[in-house]
Structure 1
């Protein structure tokens, strides 16, 4: 494993960059896919990447849905980590800009891997939202909590279009890409195995963030906002540390992890978490920041219970997920460091 050549898409993103760091630290040779040449300079100059630049090559592929654009970069590659995906950005056409590109890129990667005999495994970043109906996420809260235990064999196949928001389209894109992957494997029967990783809400430190504005994006900003003064709408009660997601991508390349399987990534399973419990974590771990008002703890984030089965993941990977307590402490620690830096 260590010393093998792997290709990674999505390295300029939150999960992808963290995965790139851990893969380099684990001794892999990396071909990192970027869309623009200028992204390389920013990434390779990062303090966590700089010591490993001799083990890192960048591949410029402007259109990730062009399957043949991967061919020249896959020579000698044994593993492919496909992390890149269209983001949930508001647009005038969700199908055109979010859903269809996600499916096309996934199939482009799979077809490219199928043409390269050296590839043993393809690992894909999917999502735990593929397990549940859209109404579970966006519909009104049921009279009584839905306490069903969702497993990696679950998949939602029902969608109503047009999508009401970019986030709905994003969730649909993940589900339809997961379905497309299974259909591809059944039809083409490639020599490689696949692994679909299904993370719950991912947060934790963002090593690409150099200031508070950059940190307070996506899920990190939502969690931090609820610990300061923002009242966030009801959120599903399942999360996972970004480090767990990154190391799962790397460990999924190991022959010891059964392939052609889906694995849920979620901490504190199966019962899940209560988001407002994070406030007590902050009170105990950062009392000075609370007393000074840096962490106001005036926000809130109500929880909709979501029970997820992760025993298969823990058995296959040989480790347990980082808890909500440690994830919150890590994110808040980075937030306070950036606050101190910006005050200087």
Structure 2
């Protein structure tokens, strides 16, 4: 509840920073973990400075999240833990260190939570992914929280360093979340546990990127269209999207309702993310800006996606049911896709 101390691992990441600001805005104190304190300097010097100045926000250095006891000090005195730190890339080459980091990073923080946090700890929430949900079930099919990925880990064991990068990422998220639930089943901790499994996360970062290189991976597609990319064909294997601010709200709901959310997974997915839709939205929003209209590709307006942003031609008979999580949001509605795209693009104005 407001006034309590929440621990957020990976607080300097795209999602972590937005989540931290969300909790701070709602009256919480936040302790974040980072690999190096210097990596949080931008957060502490600018968007979160007012909270730093009054002692509501601070960071601790955890260089290696897989080391025994790595989080022993960080967890002390907190009432909730949001474990967001995890390897993220679609270009991984070797599954072994990535899966190791996902598994042992989860084990380490749970062990620290159980041994060192204190009796005031109410809940631990892990940021998993839709990657841990989507299976090889043939279409047509609608994925729910009951589903689990059933192929990526086997692929990594069989193909080893020949495994495609996306499959390594999927395997790591699946393995990390499985360990999370195994811990609850085997150790029966006194604190509650839940997971949030988002799809492609978009929405405005807390800190506007200063270079194109600094633009986060999940919002690269919006930046590229806004910056003038001529190729606006879909490239993501996950067409669904959700706003990062909705993810933050789901995490806060779980923190504030630990008994209700205990043992539950929540899929966060609100709409379809399609480059042509992005182009159409941005051209409409910047229609009075001649330079923007010259820069943003026209493509084939209206093609490839539905006008309610709920389906795309490339969906392939697969759907995602996120109704369980939507019911937890204030007003029971996700942030509109159009608003997410515009708000994200606003953060790139200084780059184009």
SS in 2 for 1:154: coil
Pairs within 5 Å for 1:263-282 = 263-268=266-271, 272=272, 275-282=275-282
Where does residue 129 of structure 2 map in the other structure? 127
Describe the superposition over 1:261-291 as per-residue Cα deviations: whole angstroms up to 9, x where unpaired: 00010113xxx56553333222322213466
TM-score, length of structure 1 as denominator length? 0.86
- CA shift in 2, pair 1:263/1:221, >3 Å: same
Residue 333 of structure 1, CA deviation: 2.2
Residue 92 of structure 1, CA deviation: 4.7
1:332 counterpart (345, 348, 351): 345
Describe the superposition over 1:248-270 as per-residue Cα deviations: whole angstroms up to 9, x where unpaired: 222220127422100010113xx
Residue 80 of structure 1, CA deviation: 0.3
Pairs within 5 Å for 1:40-119 = 40-46=40-46, 48-53=47-52, 54-88=55-89, 90=91, 92-96=93-97, 98-115=98-115, 116=117, 117-119=119-121
Name the CA distance, whole Å, in 2 between partners of 1:273 and 1:242.
14
SS in 2 for 1:288: coil
TM-score, length of structure 2 as denominator length? 0.84
- CA shift in 2, pair 1:223/1:171, >3 Å: farther
Name the CA distance, whole Å, in 2 between partners of 1:121 and 1:278.
37
Where does residue 144 of structure 2 map in the other structure? 151
Residue 30 of structure 1, CA deviation: 1.4
SS in 1 for 2:176: helix
Are 2:333 and 1:320 aligned?
yes
Name the CA distance, whole Å, in 2 between partners of 1:308 and 1:90.
25
Residue 330 of structure 1, CA deviation: 1.2
- CA shift in 2, pair 1:89/1:200, >3 Å: closer
Name the CA distance, whole Å, in 1 between partners of 2:42 and 2:349.
24
Asked if the contact 2:66–2:101 (Cα under 8 Å) also holds between the matched residues in 1, the reply is: yes
Gaps of 5+ in 2: 305-311
Where does residue 139 of structure 1 map in the other structure? none
Moved more, 242-251 or 27-36: 242-251
Asked if the contact 2:276–2:299 (Cα under 8 Å) also holds between the matched residues in 1, the reply is: no
SS in 1 for 2:82: strand
Residue 86 of structure 1, CA deviation: 1.0
Gaps of 5+ in 1: 137-141, 340-344
RMSD: 2.5
Asked if the contact 1:107–1:181 (Cα under 8 Å) also holds between the matched residues in 2, the reply is: yes
Where does residue 342 of structure 1 map in the other structure? none
Name the CA distance, whole Å, in 2 between partners of 1:203 and 1:303.
20
SS in 1 for 2:30: strand
Are 2:181 and 1:179 aligned?
no
Name the CA distance, whole Å, in 1 between partners of 2:273 and 2:18.
24
SS in 2 for 1:253: helix
Where does residue 261 of structure 2 map in the other structure? 258
- CA shift in 2, pair 1:289/1:331, >3 Å: farther
